[in-house]
Amino acid sequence: GAVVSQHPSWVICKSGTSVKIECRSLDFQATTMFWYRQFPKQSLMLMATSNEGSKATYEQGVEKDKFLINHASLTLSTLTVTSAHPEDSSFYICSAWDRGNNEQFFGPGTRLTVL
């Protein structure tokens, strides 16, 4: 399957700082990418839909001012967790949608720990 990368794979930060996570589609151009987060022993929860060249669409209950999404190119979407707090500690996963083949591939995830 296609490769989607994420950077960094893990990050530890202090409370109040901002953290940027990158998601890259390496094998195809993705006009749409998605961001999920996963808490321990739970399933993936969709946070937002990232559309190239337009504003992201956020799921109910997800603060758009706290989780800033930028999809500036067809191969890169970024998620910035602003003013992070310990409750934001989670596993953040992105996916890239290959519309032509109706396939969606996931990145390896980024483990965020906020102290």
Partner 1 sequence: DAKTTQPPSMDCAEGRAANLPCNHSTISGNEYVYWYRQIHSQGPQYIIHGLKNNETNEMASLIITEDRKSSTLILPHATLRDTAVYYCIAGYGKLTFGQGTILTVHP
The residues binding partner 1 (CB under 8 A) are 1, 4, 6, 32, 34, 36, 43-46, 49, 91, 93, 95, 97, 99, 102-109, 111
Report d(CA 55, CA 58) in Å as an integer. 9
Q: By C-beta, is 15 or 60 nearer to partner 1?
A: 60
Q: What angle (nearest 5°) sits at the alpha carbon of residue 85, between those of residues 76 and 105?
A: 30
**Shortest reach from residue 66's CB to partner 1, in Å:** 21
Report d(CA 39, CA 101) in Å as an integer. 30
Q: By C-beta, is 75 or 110 nearer to partner 1?
A: 110
